[in-house]
Amino acid sequence: MLPHRHLATLTQLCELPPLPDDADWNGLDIAYLDRDGVLNIGSENYINSPEELIVLDNTAEAVATIRAAGFRICIVTNQSPVGRGHWDHEKLEEINSTLQSELLSEHPDAHLDLILYSPYAPWENAWSRKGKPGMLQVGRQILSATHEGIELTEFDYGPSYTPVNEGNSFMVGDRDADMEAGLSFGIRTFRCNPDVGLHDVLSRVLIYSDRGDNI
């Protein structure tokens, strides 16, 4: 069960917007970010419509700052309401598009380079559902293929995934599942306060000697 991708097929190469100040991406550094509780206020009842989406304070600035440091942004979000039948992929597209629009309205460099989501319910035991690292595996391969300009036809995916150089990449989330996904993927992993979100750990993720948090 592969993840799904916002507004694109999974194997399609990205159209990556320039990094701030026309900096070059080194092809390694990726910020893997959860969505709810990291970029926007989360809810135990899910974010069910664009109207319910509230971007956390200072989030757009934080995203832009991370991109200015040379990172690509890859959102990896569990969205089981799709698999549970609460609403469909089209509704999620509206919510994710609203998130990107609101971030860019606050800061012109707050681009989300790639948005991946796992639509599966917990009982489906999908490899793409955090705390498994499937979305991070796929995100790495899409962004690397885009950087190298090579066709992407299949994925190295699952428990037998062969790790690659992740540079200074990191994961930020607010729940154990996020921590488990990042740590099992082998990258620095940070837990943020869901009332503050990404800005809570902004200074830490850009200190590369900070090895992150444990569960």
Is 34 a catalytic site residue?
yes
Active-site annotation holder among 29, 36, 174, 178: 36
Cβ atoms < 10 Å from Cβ of 179: 23
Is 36 a catalytic site residue?
yes
Active-site annotation holder among 34, 109, 113, 200: 34
Q: Which residues belong to the active site?
A: 34, 36
